[in-house]
């Protein structure tokens, strides 16, 4: 026990500095009465032990979205709070609102202690809403402050789309039509159309006429491609080759899988050659 003799007094109480680097330790105290008639003083009873500790530090970051979040459930990850201020963390209390700015409600960790760093909320989750989330931690002294609030969208990547359809257009072009899948709870904003080359393996985008990241093409869901481009060096399609496309889409969460190839492809038509000689007179 520290010697309090000679320490300053305030309102009859002795003021002392506790030993350094003792956060999380227990200390006991006693009062010594010194009078003019004593040389060493008279000690009172020793106190119950006191824990030198404080409430935990505020979480450094808000909860983050787990990859398993989708249009039907919110799954959150929270960071470990290392600064417990003298006594171990006992619970991680994670909260969520109703997606419309309502009051926060518990997911886990308040009524019953929880040390889990992942929390799932599925009941009452609706697609396409932004849910506010936050968390705090508790030790033997009490609760920390809440973390910052962040917003989690209840959505997933778009579904896999159906294959595009392709038809001949005006004899010298093809018309590619693509179709939006279910958006997963988040608006689809971009598409990516690719056409298969002569080798039957590689796919390439056609940015000049079929870039579905451009609003006008994306909104119409149609692009027109001259056959002369598909006969060029990128695709090198030959007479009789199938003209095949695939497509994928993007929303705020990420990219869908590619569709399958066009189910009923158009065949690259015959290309007439220029005559080697011009017209000539025939004696008749």
Mind listing the pLDDT tens digit for each residue in 211-221? 999 999 999 99
Q: What is the pLDDT of residue 11?
A: 45
26-30, 161-165, 187-191 — which is least confidently predicted? 26-30
> What are the residue ranges of CATH 2.60.40.10 in the chain?
64-153, 165-267
pLDDT tens, 131-146?
A: 999 999 999 889 999 9
The pLDDT of residue 101 is above 60: yes
Its pTM stands at 0.74
The residue length of the chain stands at: 284
Q: What is the pLDDT of residue 278?
A: 66
pLDDT tens, 251-267?
A: 999 999 999 999 999 99
The CATH superfamily holding the domain 64-153 is: Immunoglobulins (2.60.40.10)
The CATH superfamily holding the domain 165-267 is: Immunoglobulins (2.60.40.10)
Q: Could you tell me the pLDDT band of residue 277, with boundaries at 50, 70 and 90?
A: low
- Mean pLDDT of the residues in the chain: 88
Q: Could you tell me the pLDDT band of residue 179, with boundaries at 50, 70 and 90?
A: very high
The pLDDT of residue 6 is above 60: no
The pLDDT of residue 2 is above 50: no
Q: Could you tell me the pLDDT band of residue 32, with boundaries at 50, 70 and 90?
A: confident
Q: What is the pLDDT of residue 135?
A: 98
Q: What is the pLDDT of residue 18?
A: 59
């Amino acid at each position: 026990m520290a010697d309090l003799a000679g320490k300053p007094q305030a309102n009859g109480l002795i003021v002392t500095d506790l030993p350094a680097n003792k956060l999380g330790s227990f200390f006991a105290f006693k009062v010594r009465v010194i009078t003019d008639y004593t040389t060493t003083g008279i000690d009172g009873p020793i106190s119950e032990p006191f824990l030198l500790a404080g409430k935990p530090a505020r979480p450094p970051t808000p909860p983050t979205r787990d990859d398993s979040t989708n249009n039907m459930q919110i799954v959150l990850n929270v960071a470990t709070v290392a600064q417990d201020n003298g006594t171990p963390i006992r619970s991680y209390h994670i909260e969520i609102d109703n997606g419309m700015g309502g009051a926060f409600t518990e997911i886990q960790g308040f009524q019953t202690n929880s040390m889990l760093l992942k929390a799932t909320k599925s009941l009452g989750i609706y697609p396409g809403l932004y849910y506010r989330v936050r968390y705090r931690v508790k030790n033997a002294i009490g609760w920390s402050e809440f973390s910052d609030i962040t917003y989690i969208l209840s959505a997933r990547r778009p579904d896999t789309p159906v294959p595009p359809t392709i038809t001949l257009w005006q004899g010298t072009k093809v018309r590619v039509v693509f179709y939006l899948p279910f958006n997963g709870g988040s608006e689809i904003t971009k598409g990516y159309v690719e056409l298969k080359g002569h080798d039957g393996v590689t796919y390439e985008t056609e940015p000049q006429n079929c870039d579905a990241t451009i609003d006008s093409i994306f909104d119409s869901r149609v692009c027109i491609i001259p056959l002369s481009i598909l006969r060029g060096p990128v695709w090198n399609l030959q007479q009789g080759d199938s003209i095949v496309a695939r497509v994928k889409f993007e929303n705020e969460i990420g990219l869908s899988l590619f569709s399958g190839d066009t189910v009923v492809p158009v065949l690259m038509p015959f290309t007439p050659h220029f005559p080697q000689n011009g017209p000539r007179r025939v004696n008749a």
